[in-house]
Each structure stands twice: as C-alpha cells, then as structure tokens.
Structure 1
Amino acid sequence: MVSFAVTQEGIWTVKRSIESHNHELAKPDDQHLLRSSRHITDESASVLKSMSDAGISTVNAFTYLSEEVGGVENLGFTKRDAYNYLQKERRAKIENGDTYSLIQLFKERVAADNMFAWDVQLDEQERLMNFFWADRLARIDYDCFGDVIIFDTSYRLNKYNLACAPIVGVNNHWQNIILGIAFLSDETIESFTWLFTTFLRIMDNKHPITIFTDQDQAMARAIETTLPNTRHRFKCDSEEEFETAWNAMMKEGNLQNHQWLNDLYKIRSKWSTAFNKNCFNLGILSTQRSESTNHVCHGISKPTSSITECFLGLEKMMKTWRRNEKDEDFKCSQSEIQPYIKSSSILKQAALFYSRKLYSFFEEEFLQGVGGLCIEYSSSDLTMFYVKSIDKCPDSKIWTVLFNSSQGTIQCSCAKFEMMGILCSHCMRVLRQLDIVNIPEKYFLPRWSARARKDLYAGRKITNLSNSSCLSVEVPGNLKIRNYVCRFAYKISTEAQGNAEAEQCMLDGMTSMARNVQLILEGKKINNTNPVCGRKNIKDPAKCRPKGISNARLKDHWEKKKKKKIKNTDFTAPTSIQFTPESNGSQSSFM
C-alpha cells in the first residue's frame, strides 16, 4: 500500500509505502472477484435491465450473460453486482418517494396519450389512500365492451398492503380486457364510492348494464349509490322453479335454521339467473374472470413491491393481453370461418359476422338445436312452440319459444339471447322447423362482431342491450370524436414528416385551430388539471403488510361469516349440500 500527503500548493509527498502483500495474489481465474477489477459494462447493464423488465429473474439473467462469455470468470462482475445494479435502478425510480414517482409516471403517460386518465385520493395526513387509472385503449374498450364488467379486490401483495382492484371486461373474442385498475387502502363504502364515482367520470358517465362482484356488503352499498341503473350480480329458468327447488332443498336437508343459507336467500336476486333473465350479462355466473386476473397479478408483484413497480408490471400485462387480442383480430381478417355444415345458409351468415370464438358458440347452439332437440307441441298458428330434448326423458325440461313472423321476432323462455346476445339452440330448432334460412340482422349483436371496434367507430348503429326490445341507438359521440381527431392528427403528421414546408403548414394550422377553439370556449373552459399534479409533498401509503402471508387473498364477507360457529346444539350443518334445480342441465353447489 502507499499513502500520500498533498500541500495547499498541490505538491504530493509519499508518507508511507509498503511493498509486500499481506495476502496471496489473485489467480487469473479469480481476478473477477477483486473489487478493483469488477465492472458492469453498458452492454451487460442493458441486457440485465431488459431481461429484468421482461420478468426474468436476476439469477437467470446473470447465468445467461455468463454463458454468453464462456463462464463467470470472463464476465467481469459477480452475481451480487448484478443484484446491486438492478436494485439501484429500482431505487432510482422512486428516489423522490413512491407516490411522487407514480404521479410523475401518470403525468408522462398523459403527455404521450391525451386520453390517459387518472386520479388519487389522500387521507387527512396527506398520505396516498386510493388511486385509479385508465389509458386510451381501456377507455375505448369500455365504450365498445363496457356493457358487462367484473370487479374484484381479493388480491393484496405489495409493501403497503393495498388491494389491487382491476375492472375487467370481455371483448368480442371472449378474451379478458382491462377497463381500468385501482389500488385501494381499505374496503369501505367510502373507498368503493370514490372509485366508482371516479370510474364513471373518466368513462364519460356511461353506466354498465351489469356488474359482477363478490359478496361484499360495503361494495354492494356503494354500487347502489353510484350505479343505480346497473344490475348487481353475484341456474333455474324461472322464479317459480327457483322457489320450488330451494324449498325442496331446505326441507330435504332440514336447513330451515341455517343462517348462511338464509342470508344467501335474501340476496337471491343478485346471484340467481331466474331473477336476471331480462338483463344482459354475457352468460357470466361469477367473478372468475377477475380472479384469473388476480392470478396474473401474483407473478407481477411481491410483498416488497412498490406501487410504482406494480403499475409498470400491470402495464406490461395489459400490453401482453392486447397483443393476444391483435393476434386474434389478425386471424379473423386473414382467414374465413368454415362452417361445419357448408350448405347451411344460417351458418354461412354467422361465419361472415361473428369472431372466431363467438362463431364456435353459435355453431354449437345450432348443431344442438337441429340434432339434439325436438318439437313437443306447436300452436295451430305457429306462434308458440314447446321444445325438449330428443332423448325423450319423461322429466326432461321443456322450453317455450314464441315466434312472430310479421315482426320478425323469436324469443325463448331460457332468455339466452337477452342475457348473452346469441340465439339459443331452442330458437334454432324452431327456425329449422319453419324452414327459415336467414336470421334477422337484429339478432347479430355488433359487440360480438369480428369487426366490433371498426363498426362502432365508423358511426354505425349499435343495439341498446339495456332494453330487451333491442332498439337501435346512435353511438355516443364524446369518445368517438376524440378517437377520430387523434387518428386524423396522426395521419397528417405522418404524411408531413420529412417535408419542412408541410411540417410548418401543419404547425401553423394547429396553432390557428387552437386559438379559435380557445375563443369558442372562452368563459366556460373546464379545468381538467388534476389538483395533485403539482404537489410534491404527498406522502407514501403507510406500510402495513401482514406478516407470514405469501399470497394474501382477502376473505370476502361470506367466507368471514363461515368461520363463526353456529350456536345451535340441536343442529349440525352438513359440510356440503348439493341440489340440482333442473336448469339447462347445470348443477349448483351450496357449501
């Protein structure tokens, strides 16, 4: 070792020098372990960051780099250096505070996407409580497919123990789509009310037809207040049949005093299809689609994840889903659907309209109708038909189909079209009986079309599913005009790019247009700036991660109540009771 002293004039003097080593010299194979020899090159740093952003673990990324150069001794840094580098990168994202970094990301997204919308809620200590965001594609998707949404808050896995609350929809390919994501600090009526109010404001006050949730009382109260026109859902074909099946189950199991079943019966309108046959709901029976989203979240966040990391991870998940959707759009545009029965004009008609997945549903109903059902009885004027299974079982279910040739309408007691938007097999059997070769256009809902978005934003009429009479209404203009302007501006800027005169002409025109719009809006301009945008003193949420929980799925209201012992010495509840309500062959299970 050697030490120096430096004078004020800058003269260096050797103060101490020891030429012998107090350790063995490093061998060439161990040289990469010396601190002075370790260095992460820009190329290696770029690969590490890219692989980490793609969800590849640090150890696997390090192994890949070492294999590329023929071993760790040729890499120039250790595994610990790789961990330290990536951790430093993560800390840099939130160096001014997690909440501040998140808001900065929101502002960056708004600058790049003028339809990106977000909002936050703070507590009395200026700490972040709840936040919500939706980007341009999410808002467009809601305009196209926001008739039915699924909402669930059963996933918490971040260092603040915030509940991840994705709002999920279903597109025309029967795929999950994200319509917005919220993080909530608690599950109170106030938090849910804030979220649904914010969601509606961002979505131009367009209410969904149906919302599926778990059985959470606070959530239900908030929905009643903020979404009064939306059917809240949590299989019998009629209310009478449901009551008969329920009473038979209660009597057979001696369950009249079972508190959980009695509470479940009180909210039967929220979960039994018998009370929701006039409501469009895509045929969904639970929040399973949202729960599958929560499963994806498990691979994105960890108990130590910041909310900034959660946001970035969820953005990647949304990009992956949208890539899958584009792939399906491409398949629909490049290949024609081949009907199973090539001579069937109805299947040909459906193949030209539906997306690939929805056509498979339609074809299944068609084949079941013409091959698995028969007409039990028909009225003399051919306006009423009783349809049953072809197997001739004495207790088989009978469905009633009403047909009106003058109005071109057909309606079944199973109400599949009213709930899901495709004709059922019972209607198919009647159409075959009447030798009808084409289905009226009103029974092909545009939300299931292979070109659903193009049809919507081309200004075509869409079917108002909130009304069982299927009236046609014009597409709402707010989101459509913004989408058109964005696409038009992008087209003009792309064409002008590279030509200085054209670029200047475009900029002058936009400046003039902005000035004219400002004059029109003078005196009634709405301030859309989020009040927290310029604030730098917003505190991070309080850290309160439960100890010892690796997959902290929250228990819903009924799961919590099941843990309480029933104080009744004369009755012991069975662990599982099954009953079949004779509805479309389905079976319900009550635990």
Structure 2
Amino acid sequence: MPFGLFVGVNNHFQSVLYAGVLMRDETEDTFKWIFDEFVKMMAGKKPITILTDQARAMEKAIEEVYPESTHRWCKWHVLKKAKENLGAHYTKKSDFRAEFHKLVHEMLTIDEFEDGWAALLDKYSLKTNPYLVQIYETRQKWAKPYFAGKFCARQTSTGRSESANHMLKQYVPPSCSMNLFVKQYNKLQFDREQEEGFQEKCTRLSHAVLKVNTSLEVHASKIYTRKMFEIFGGIMYESGM
C-alpha cells in the first residue's frame, strides 16, 4: 500500500519521505501502528501532509493518529477511477477528457474550479453521474485549489512509491519468508548498483553531444549520465530553448 508523508523539519526547511509498505493486513489498526511507528522514527514530528490512495482503512487511521495533518488523495488514482467509471466520455480523443484534465490540473482558485465543474457537467449532461457526484463531494481531498498554501513538496501522486513497490515485487515473491526477502532485496540492490555503474562508465567513455550549447545544457552534461542527458536534451529541444 503506497503513501507519501510530507514532514516539516523546522520553519525554514522541509523534507519529504515516501513510504512504500507491503502489507498483508491492510486494516485500520495496522495503519495506526505504522503511523505511530513513523512518528517515533521522526522523533515525535508528525507529517504536515499525507498523500494516499482512497483506501478507507487508511483514511480512518489518519483521522485518528494525525488529526491535524492535511490528507490528500493521489491525483493518479482519481484519474484512473475516472477512466474506469466514465466509459466513452473519457477516451483519449474526447473533448470531455481534455476539459476534465484542465479542471484537475490548471484551476488555481476555488471559484474557478466550482464554476468550471458546473459548466462541464452541464455541457455534457452529467449532473447525475454517480462517479462525478461522489468525487465532487470529496473534492477537498483531491482538487488543486483546496490545497493552496499547504506544503506538498509539489507532489500530487504516490507514483514514486508505487514504482518502488513494482520494482520490489519483481524480485520478491508473495508470502516469502524473511530470509528470502533479505536475499532478494540484496539482489535488487546489487542489480541497481551494477546498472548505475554501467551508466557511469558509458558517461565517462563518451562525451555528451551538445545541441544548442547553452549554459544550462553544458551544466546538465556535467551532472547527468549519458542516458539521462539524452532525455533532458530531448525535453529542452521540444521546449524551444
């Protein structure tokens, strides 16, 4: 079960901790235990913001253990459920999908969001759609304008911890013993270090090819591996820099 915990260290600096937890027993009591242990690890410091999927057991545990923390839903999960529940309205080429994403990603004020939401549902005759009615009632947990001024480290999705979970599951089989888990985790670490070493070697042996020779590109060529620099260069080129 993935979730992100955003923790303020002091008034001038804030850090982010992601926790990807593999659990058999995803109950309210289990989540309470995890959240309590997290506070102990952080010397009593509770998170400012918690980013999760829409698991009800986790939500109830957060309300009890971290009542003063801001609880947000993962934007990716909201959009995933939109795709599952809206059918033909949510195809890649549909105008509704583009306008819905604009509401989710670009609205900056509550008034903009509320007006846009009402206009969208009216335009496509979806005022009584069960899914849209349900997520509108819980908009304070996922709509961008309702989190103005809340520290979220510019994160809106638990994607990073889910990616880590996916990677770990490729090495660790379900219901494995503890000694097998440790063995496979060490193998994961070894493989990752081998791949990093390979990329660093490729970077040393072949110099980055500069396309525009700007100071930003020169700096990126010095700090990125060759593969990462190629990705960066493509993005920079598409941006017109």
TM-score (norm 2): 0.57
Q: Which one of 61, 70, 85 corresponds to residue 222 of structure 1?
A: 61
Secondary structure class of the residue paired with 2:122: helix
Q: Which one of 284, 295, 312 corresponds to residue 183 of structure 2?
A: 312
Is residue 272 of structure 1 aligned with residue 111 of structure 2?
A: no
Is residue 147 of structure 1 aligned with residue 11 of structure 2?
A: no
Is residue 189 of structure 1 aligned with residue 1 of structure 2?
A: no
- Residue number in structure 2 paired with 1:241: 112
Higher relative contact order (CA 8 A, sep 6+): 2
Identity of aligned residues (%): 27
- Residue number in structure 2 paired with 1:287: 158
Q: Which runs of 5+ in 2 are unaligned?
A: 1-13, 75-104
Secondary structure class of the residue paired with 1:147: strand
Partner amino acid for 2:72? H
Secondary structure class of the residue paired with 2:113: helix
Instruction: Provide the rounded CA distance (Å) in 1 between the counterparts of 2:126 and 2:180.
Output: 49
Secondary structure class of the residue paired with 2:106: coil
Is residue 351 of structure 1 aligned with residue 212 of structure 2?
A: no
TM superposition shift of 1:184: 3.3
- Residue number in structure 1 paired with 2:52: 213
In terms of fraction of residues, the more helix-rich structure is 2
TM superposition shift of 1:215: 0.6
Partner amino acid for 2:38? F
TM superposition shift of 1:268: 2.4
TM superposition shift of 1:195: 0.6
Q: Provide Cα deviations, 1:283-319, integer angstroms capped at 9, x if missing partner.
A: 6543334334443444444456334433432343244
TM superposition shift of 1:237: 3.4
Q: Which one of 124, 127, 130 corresponds to residue 256 of structure 1?
A: 127
Partner amino acid for 2:30? S
TM superposition shift of 1:265: 1.8
TM superposition shift of 1:230: 5.6
Instruction: Provide the rounded CA distance (Å) in 2 between the counterparts of 1:211 and 1:327.
Output: 36
Structure 1 segment 66-465 matched on structure 2, within 5 A: 147=16, 149=18, 167-168=19-20, 182-205=21-44, 211-227=50-66, 228-229=68-69, 232-234=72-74, 235-239=105-109, 240-276=111-147, 278=149, 281=152, 284-302=155-173, 305-325=176-196, 339-342=210-213, 344-345=214-215, 347=216, 350-351=219-220, 355-356=224-225, 357=228, 361=232, 364=235, 368=239, 371=240
- Residue number in structure 2 paired with 1:109: none
Partner amino acid for 1:232? R
Instruction: Provide the rounded CA distance (Å) in 1 between the counterparts of 2:150 and 2:199.
Output: 28
Partner amino acid for 1:321? R
Instruction: Provide the rounded CA distance (Å) in 1 between the counterparts of 2:206 and 2:151.
Output: 30
Q: Which runs of 5+ in 1 are unaligned?
A: 1-144, 150-166, 169-181, 373-591
- Residue number in structure 1 paired with 2:101: none
Kindly indicate whether the alpha-carbon contact (under 8 Å) linking 1:148 and 1:209 is maintained by their aligned counterparts in 2.
no
Instruction: Provide the rounded CA distance (Å) in 1 between the counterparts of 2:53 and 2:141.
Output: 10
Q: Provide Cα deviations, 1:1-51, integer angstroms capped at 9, x if missing partner.
A: xxxxxxxxxxxxxxxxxxxxxxxxxxxxxxxxxxxxxxxxxxxxxxxxxxx
Number of matched pairs: 195
Partner amino acid for 1:316? K
Q: Provide Cα deviations, 1:62-81, integer angstroms capped at 9, x if missing partner.
A: xxxxxxxxxxxxxxxxxxxx
TM superposition shift of 1:336: 6.6
- Residue number in structure 2 paired with 1:35: none
Kindly indicate whether the alpha-carbon contact (under 8 Å) linking 1:193 and 1:226 is maintained by their aligned counterparts in 2.
yes
Q: Alpha carbons of 1:146 and 1:361: their partners in 2 closer, same or farther (altered >3 Å)?
A: farther
TM superposition shift of 1:256: 2.8
Partner amino acid for 1:237? M
Q: Alpha carbons of 1:202 and 1:304: their partners in 2 closer, same or farther (altered >3 Å)?
A: closer
Kindly indicate whether the alpha-carbon contact (under 8 Å) linking 1:147 and 1:209 is maintained by their aligned counterparts in 2.
no
Instruction: Provide the rounded CA distance (Å) in 1 between the counterparts of 2:232 and 2:144.
Output: 20
Instruction: Provide the rounded CA distance (Å) in 1 between the counterparts of 2:153 and 2:218.
Output: 21
Kindly indicate whether the alpha-carbon contact (under 8 Å) linking 1:231 and 1:279 is maintained by their aligned counterparts in 2.
no
Instruction: Provide the rounded CA distance (Å) in 1 between the counterparts of 2:193 and 2:48.
Output: 24
* Greater Rg by CA: 1
Q: Alpha carbons of 1:335 and 1:184: their partners in 2 closer, same or farther (altered >3 Å)?
A: same
Instruction: Provide the rounded CA distance (Å) in 2 between the counterparts of 1:280 and 1:365.
Output: 28
Partner amino acid for 2:107? D
Q: Provide Cα deviations, 1:343-393, integer angstroms capped at 9, x if missing partner.
A: x33x1574277545489559836862xx38xxxxxxxxxxxxxxxxxxxxx
